[in-house]
A and B are shown apart, each in its own frame.
Chain A
């Protein structure tokens, strides 16, 4: 008898355990709470706490409960499954977040884009972004995701080193090759170039810039939208050939293929290589390792006088980050949170706190932008605002992965330029046939998209 009771008790506990949920901190704040969960990475959390404070100032009747850590996505996933997500969310950038849209978890932000901007009632929220940056977070004409930062990519150099040796910043690819030759010959052992070889995606910045500069925005758009044959175009083969050539001519620091991003960047800071490709996050990433007198400056990936893309055009993008879960308890408060978080005022604070620039007009005038990032904004302006943005990298994660893998093999001389494009086209074809892949359609990006610095 007793054992029967024991069995019943244990069985009861077992079943109950499926339903039991502990009380969380959020509930202690009462009913009127907006909850934000944010990925904690290189940007830290201060900007999040600042936005929460600003939200509470603007809405004293609502508490802002925000938290975040590097595993925020994993920790929040069960809540999405249970239909109990936070009100505003940023998971992590290198996951396929489009699946959330496919499952209807993402609230459209169209109404938010039309609301007056926070602190600038004469503009709508949507009008406060740098031109062209919102499209990356749209699908089928509707806004679902908003960007966190504005990144400009190119090739970085130490202005002090260049001045000391009398090296000139090259504009065309021919001048770039001549400079590499000069550095190799007269640089006292300084290698012309290194890159984050373990993660070929960084060199991808150079490769895709070459493709844009050879083939122009239309080609890039065809690649982004998976047009048949776009990934096998001759410009892609040529860019692959030029990439391999840098290795063949011995312009790349020995050992580069195994460097992680931090190793390569440290080695560059130590002056063992003259140039390195990266985005503007480089400055805040390496700020603590910056040697005295190191003047970190960017140049566009050099182009071609007869190319279809501008010689000085810069790669600029704003990867989609923030979204409002459709099942949130208060999606409208979540949107309000975004309106405040991405306001001109807080974007200026972001520049001061984090050192990176958000794509919010005017914010770069209100705060002092660090010199390296400033040089990137200047480079965009010098290019007449001509930027390009390979959007496939945030649209099709599998294509981006294959791009990185095949590019690594190409740089390692494991495959030929022809085989490289063959592999890329095969992956594009695989995605075209995959009914589970979200297809993006887009008009060719206008050649001049952003006047970022203005």
Chain B
């Protein structure tokens, strides 16, 4: 009897969150699943069931493949660069390899206090080849014939990667710092007694104890990368010549500019399948019990 009441009370506690979850996540996803099999222009309630027609179109659509490729490119690049840089900074700051470590902690974390939109606008200005701070700085160094950063397909892709890394690295650095600070000093002392230098301590103490955390963060980064939208939408709008088009910006174009909501939803489903698999992977990776000190 007592148990029943507490179960009921439990339900009451989760109910608000559950309602939001159902209204804004489960219901739209379920509807989207249906829409991905339909032709829907999004301006009226006319829906025409087209079976796998949208999927067929998607597999034959070169722009979809380009967007998928770009999205994967951004994701893999950030997934590789961010953890390495974040780890480097985290070790440098915690092991006090640099002076003013405290200041660096704040500086690197700073981008996480700004919204993605503000970051995009900021860099959009900074990367302006005429008035932007980057070009002007390089000119000061005597460089001429600078590329028009976001106007050139190759440069634009790397600029997007660079900004994504800049925006993300601080957050992961903080994660790693907290993990490193959780490692008891005894381990390092023991390593020192055994004659390990800074590099060897890192290889044999820090890195193995961080690898769990690293795995999880890489999956986070991958999930994050596949959703790339706001930065690209503002900095390049997928251009030039679709060189920075991501799945999300291509979905937006189809749904909100071309009036192809059904098709856009189909692409969104493919994105959903990718991110869902990554989420499962992250659950799998976290399944192992954490090391306790």
A→B interface (CB under 8 Å): 3, 6-7, 10, 14, 77, 80-81, 94-96, 98-100, 102-105, 197-198, 255, 257-259, 263, 397-398, 405-406, 408-409, 412, 414, 436
How far is the CB of A100 from the nearest CB of chain B, in Å? Answer: 5
Interchain CB contact under 8 A, B239 and A408: yes
Q: Are B15 and A103 in contact (CB under 8 A)?
A: no
Q: B8-24: contact bitstring with A at CB < 8 Å (1 yes, 0 no)? A: 11011001000100010
Among residues of A, the one whose C-beta sits closest to the C-beta of B260 is A436
CB contact under 8 A between A259 and B241, given known A3-B12, A398-B258, A436-B39: no
A258 to B124, CA, bound (A): 11
Chain B residues contacting A95 (CB-CB under 8 Å) are 256-257, 259
A255 CA to B152 CA in the complex, in Å?
A: 11
Query: A104 near B130 (CB under 8 angstroms)?
Result: no
Q: Is the CB of A255 within 8 A of B43?
A: no
Cβ-defined partner of A409 (8 Å) among B44, B45, B241: B241
Q: Are B258 and A103 in contact (CB under 8 A)?
A: no
B153: which A residues are within 8 A, CB to CB? 409, 412, 414
B151 within 8 A of A: yes
Nearest 10 interchain pairs by C-beta: A99-B259, A258-B148, A258-B151, A99-B41, A103-B44, A405-B241, A257-B151, A409-B241, A96-B259, A258-B129
Q: Contact check, A397 vs B41: say whether CB atoms are below 8 A apart.
A: no
* Contact residues in A for B42 (Cβ distance below 8 Å): 77, 99
Instruction: Specify the chain B residue showing the minimal Cβ separation from A397.
Output: B258
Tell me the bound Cα distance from A397 to B254 in angstroms.
11
- Residue of A whose beta carbon sits closest to that of B61: A430
Answer yes or no: B149 CB below 8 A from chain A CBs.
yes
- For A436, the chain B residues whose CB sits under 8 A away are 39, 260
Please state if A10 and B15 are interface contacts (CB–CB under 8 Å).
Answer: yes
Size bracket, chain B contacts: 20 to 34
Query: A100 contacts which chain B residues (CB < 8 A)?
Result: 43
Decide: A94 near B12, CB < 8 A? Known: A198-B151, A258-B149. no
A397 to B130, CA, bound (A): 31
A102 to B43, CA, bound (A): 10
Q: Is the CB of A412 within 8 A of B43?
A: no
* Nearest chain A residue, comparing its CB with the CB of B22: A14
Contact B44 A6 (CB under 8 A): no
Instruction: Tell me the B248-293 residues at the A interface (CB within 8 Å).
Output: 256-260
The answer on a CB contact under 8 Å between A257 and B258 is no
- Taking A96-B257, A412-B240 as contacts, is the C-beta distance between A7 and B12 under 8 angstroms? yes
Known: A3-B12, A405-B240, A405-B241. A81 touches B130 (CB 8 A): no
B242 at the interface (CB under 8 A from A): yes
User: Across the interface, do A405 and B44 meet the contact criterion of CB distance under 8 Å?
Assistant: no
- List the count of A-B residue pairs having beta carbons below 8 Å apart: 82
Flag whether B46 is at the interface (Cβ < 8 A): yes
- Which residues of chain A are within 8 angstroms of B177 by Cβ–Cβ distance? none
Contact assessment for B129 and A406 in the assembled complex, using a CB-CB cutoff below 8 Å: no
- B26-60 contacts to A, CB under 8 A, are 39, 41-46
By a CB distance below 8 angstroms, the chain B residues around A409 are 153, 240-241
Q: In the assembled complex, which residues on chain B have CB atoms less than 8 Å from the CB atom of A104?
A: 44, 46
Q: Choose from A6, A255, A414 the contact partner of B129 (Cβ within 8 Å).
A: A255
Cβ–Cβ < 8 Å partners of A94 in chain B: 257
Of B11, B19, B128, B241, the residue contacting A14 (CB under 8 A) is B19
Give min CB distance, B252 to chain A, whole Å. Answer: 12
**Given contacts A197-B151, A263-B130, A408-B239, A10 and B257 within 8 Å (CB-CB):** no
Whether A102 contacts B239 by the Cβ 8 Å rule is no
Question: Which residue of B12, B43, B130, B256 is within 8 Å of A103 (Cβ)?
Answer: B43
Q: Which residues of A contact B45 (CB under 8 A)?
A: 81
A374 to chain B, nearest CB (A): 32
Mask for B144-185, Cβ within 8 A of A = 1, else 0? 000011111100000000000000000000000000000000
Known: A6-B12, A80-B44. 10 other contacts (CB 8 A): A3-B12, A100-B43, A104-B46, A255-B129, A257-B151, A258-B128, A397-B257, A397-B258, A412-B152, A414-B241
Structural contact, A103 and B41, CB atoms closer than 8 A: yes
Q: Closest residue to A260 on the B side, CB-wise?
A: B128
Q: How far is the CA of A333 from the CA of B65 in the complex (A)?
A: 48
A-B CB contact pairs (8 Å), 16 listed? A7-B11, A80-B44, A99-B42, A104-B46, A255-B129, A255-B130, A258-B129, A258-B148, A259-B130, A263-B130, A405-B239, A406-B241, A408-B241, A409-B240, A414-B241, A436-B260
A7 contacts B241, CB within 8 Å? no
Given that A103-B41, A255-B148 are known contacts, is A405 also in contact with B257, CB under 8 Å in the complex? no
Please measure, in the bound complex, the distance between the C-alpha atom of A3 and the C-alpha atom of B42, giving whole angstroms: 40
Chain B's closest residue to A6 (CB) is B12
Kindly name the residue among B8, B43, B150, B259 whose own CB sees the greatest number of chain A CB atoms within 10 A.
B43
Contact A81/B257 with A258-B130, A409-B241, A414-B241 known, Cβ cut-off 8 Å: no
Q: Which chain B residue has the least Cβ–Cβ distance from A267?
A: B130
Q: How far is the CB of B176 from chain A (nearest CB, A)?
A: 37
Task: Give the residues in chain A near B9, CB-CB below 8 Å.
Answer: 3
Closest A residue to B130 by beta carbon equals A255
A317 nearest CB across to chain B (Å): 20
Q: Which of A7, A80, A197, A398 makes the CB contact (< 8 A) with B15? A: A7
Contacts of B43 in A (CB 8 A): 77, 80-81, 99-100, 103, 105
- For B126-149 the 0/1 string (1 means CB < 8 A from A) is 001110000000000000000011
Q: Which chain A residue has the least Cβ–Cβ distance from B261? A: A99
Given A3-B12, A10-B15, A104-B44, CB of A96 within 8 Å of CB of B258: yes
Chain B residues lying within 8 Å of A406, measured Cβ to Cβ, are 241
Across-interface contacts of A258 in B (CB, < 8 A): 128-130, 148-151
Collect the chain B residues with CB atoms within 8 Å of residue A257's CB: 148, 151-152
Query: In the assembled complex, which residues on chain B have CB atoms less than 8 Å from the CB atom of A105?
Result: 43-44
Cα A14 to Cα B46 with chains together (Å): 26
For the complex, what is the distance from the CA of A412 to the CA of B154, rounded to whole Å? 12
Q: How far is the CA of A99 from the CA of B129 in the complex (A)?
A: 38
Which residue of A is nearest B245, CB measured? A405
* Chain A contacts for B260, CB-based, 8 A: 436
**CB-based nearest B residue for A326:** B44
Q: State in angstroms the CA–CA spacing of A258 and B235 once bound together.
A: 12
In the bound assembly, the distance between CA atoms of A436 and B258 in angstroms comes to 11
Can you name the residue of chain A whose Cβ is closest to the Cβ of B262? A436
Q: Nearest CB to that of A98 among chain B residues?
A: B259
Q: Shortest distance in angstroms between A331's beta carbon and chain B's nearest beta carbon? A: 16
